[in-house]
Amino acid sequence: MNKSSFPKLQFLLLATVFMWIKTYIVYKTRFDIKIESWMQEFILFINPLSFLLLVFGISLFMKEKRRSGYIIIVSFLSSAILFANVVFYRFFNDFITIPVLLQTKNMADLGSSFTELFKFSDLLLFADVLILVALYFFKPNLARIESVSRKERRYYYLMVAALFFFNLGLSETERPQLLTRTFDREILIKNIGTYNYHIYDIVLQSKSSAQRALADSSNFVDIENYFNANYKKPDEEMFNIANGKNIILVSLESTQSFVINETVNGEEITPFLNDLIEDSYYYENFYHQTAQGKTSDSEFILDNSLYPLGRGAVFFTHGSNEFTATPEIIKEFGYYSSVLHANNKSFWNRDIMYESLGYDKFFDIESYEVNEENSVGWGLKDKEFFEQSVDLMKTQPQPFYSKLITLTNHFPFELGEEDKQIDELDTRSKTLNRYIPTVRYQDEAVKHFIQKLKDEGLYENSILIFYGDHYGISENHNVAMGEFLGKEITPFDSVQLQRVPLIIHIPGVTDGENSKLISDVAGQIDLKPTILHMLGINTKNDIHFGTDLFSGQKVSFTVLRDGSFITDDYVYTKSTCYDKETGEEIEESNCEPYFDKASRELEYSDQIIYGDLLRFYEGTTYNEELENAIK
């Protein structure tokens, strides 16, 4: 393009510069993007430009009177994309994906969360759009985009292409195989930019949609061989220990392990759980492995021992897949299965997914008496929920497998003064401050729950498993978390904060001296084989990535959905290896032996879900002679 072309495009270029600078400011002020060199900073600065020039440049092919209007509409839509990512990132510390946008069933229930996350300053993201509108109406000559020749359009798009490949080339130099790291959205945003990332996300969505149609039984061979090679024998003492007993699982909403045995102003945050741990098996290095599906991801991992997807929630994107889930397996052994959750049945697509998983009954909000007096935040208070849930469980045939999902300790952590039994914190994060009283309330609710089970005669013949479903305090609150814990939160500490409680309480077995504090590294993916073995069910031919927590052959290893992993000695995250004892950075070679296992398991799990590969699985007979499992 020659110099005379620029006056023709002044409105287009002005809109581009506005969006470009605004996007970079958002990168620096609203997202916590780690920059390690001047080259990464330069890439971050230029990465919005090629997309903006491309999309605004489409106006050059339109009739002259429509060009300025098109520019304004694109500016508004681009600003809306930024706005959505800013609000989403504020809590989830992540960027929106297409599958998340398709979760429309959840939107009606997100009102209080959005109100908490939205800030009026976010409206400044649309300031440039208002300026463009003002110019369009009050300075029409300035807002006019004159016709350009075919040659000028060609030069324009050659410049755009050159800029795009220049950006991509620098990014590939900084981060080789960049576009294969689909699970690490921060790296993609940092290198190719927000807008190009969303285009890439559309491509990934189209690719994943096609995987099922193209899959066949041959895709499952290597995966099945991997499972067979990695099978671990159960512990002889714990195998069949729960046979004929009820299994009661309690999902502790947003509960992280840092609150266990912690105090505020001399008051314990979780006094009852602290006591319960003294009569239970407690795993102090147990990690949640959820991604964008949050609670639904934890449910998926629990019942299937598969990893969640890096984009969206399996409950939404693949709710009609074939699975070999625990509720379906235990039917062969006369177990009745249910979920109890005082929320709308369609939230997280649960009504569809539970049927795919083989649950017999879903006690949703229609099964509960819910009113203003017994509700707060997202719905029914935990004490009322547990009270009514025990009554519902009594109606079930025994033995049963029941999963209870709590609500009160849910962002934005609202609680009436009458229910607060501990002081809020005094940090710069309102979210963290309010989190402590809701955790304390949940703890008190669990206490009442166990007493209710005893009163109704369900306690003695049941095994109780309490587990945290996902984090409650995201990395966006690390500064405040550092104030509370008395140290600076590093990437190493952020991984350690993904630990959640796992308490396995077996009345008459784990009481007193028989309790155990277990330091082995484990994750939610290990729960399915653990539970099945406790029920005396052979899993030698089952499909699961986890390992029985009680098995003496278990490897101390857990991989998170973002590719981070933890062993007894090391933590690997954000391309850095840390010594687990000191938290200090060490040579990457120490973590290298685990790279293949971490990446292979995530890849195989994705293949199973995207390809719906379990429809090709011939299945196994679970009711073989029990001793076969421990030979």
List residues with catalytic annotation: 295
Which residue, among 564, 449, 580, 544, has the nearest Cα to 503 in the 3D structure? 449
How many alpha carbons lie under 13 Å from residue 272 in its C-beta half-sphere? 15
Strand 585-586 and strand 576-579: the pairing is antiparallel
Contacts 24+ apart (CB under 8 A), 93-97: 93/32, 93/474, 93/475, 93/476, 94/185, 94/292, 95/185, 95/186, 95/189, 95/194, 95/197, 96/198, 97/185, 97/201, 97/205, 97/292, 97/311, 97/312
CA separation for the pair 239, 627 (Å, rounded): 10
Phi, psi (deg, nearest 5) at residue 247? -110, 115
CA separation for the pair 187, 202 (Å, rounded): 17
Contacts 24+ apart (CB under 8 A), 214-222: 214/611, 215/610, 215/611, 215/612, 215/613, 215/616, 216/616, 217/616, 219/607, 219/611, 219/613, 219/616, 220/608, 220/613, 220/616, 220/617, 222/604
Residue type, 606: D
For the chain, the residue count is: 631
Strand 516-518 and strand 336-340: the pairing is unpaired
Which residue, among 291, 228, 227, has the nearest Cα to 608 in the 3D structure? 227
Mutual angle of helices 38-46 and 150-174, in 10-degree steps:
150
CA separation for the pair 144, 135 (Å, rounded): 10
Q: What tokens appear for 242 in the block?
A: 């729960």
Helix (H) or strand (E) holding 380: strand 379-380
Q: How far is CA 612 from CA 133, 215, 231, in A?
A: 49, 8, 22
CA separation for the pair 600, 594 (Å, rounded): 10
CA separation for the pair 386, 453 (Å, rounded): 9
CA separation for the pair 569, 249 (Å, rounded): 30
Q: What tokens appear for 474 in the block?
A: 């995201």
Strand 246-252 and strand 462-468: the pairing is parallel
Q: Is-contact 378 115, C-beta < 8 A?
A: no
Phi, psi (deg, nearest 5) at residue 573? -155, 150
Give residues with Cβ within 8 angstroms of 435, minimum separation 6: 254, 409, 413, 425, 472, 473
Q: Is-contact 557 597, C-beta < 8 A?
A: yes
Which residue, among 90, 80, 153, has the nearest Cα to 118 in the 3D structure? 90
Q: Which SS3 state, helix, strand or coil, does residue 578 take?
A: strand
CA separation for the pair 443, 419 (Å, rounded): 12
Query: Which residue intervals of 111-264 are DSSP H helices?
Result: 111-117, 127-138, 140-143, 150-174, 185-192, 194-214, 221-229
Q: What tokens appear for 467 in the block?
A: 């587990």
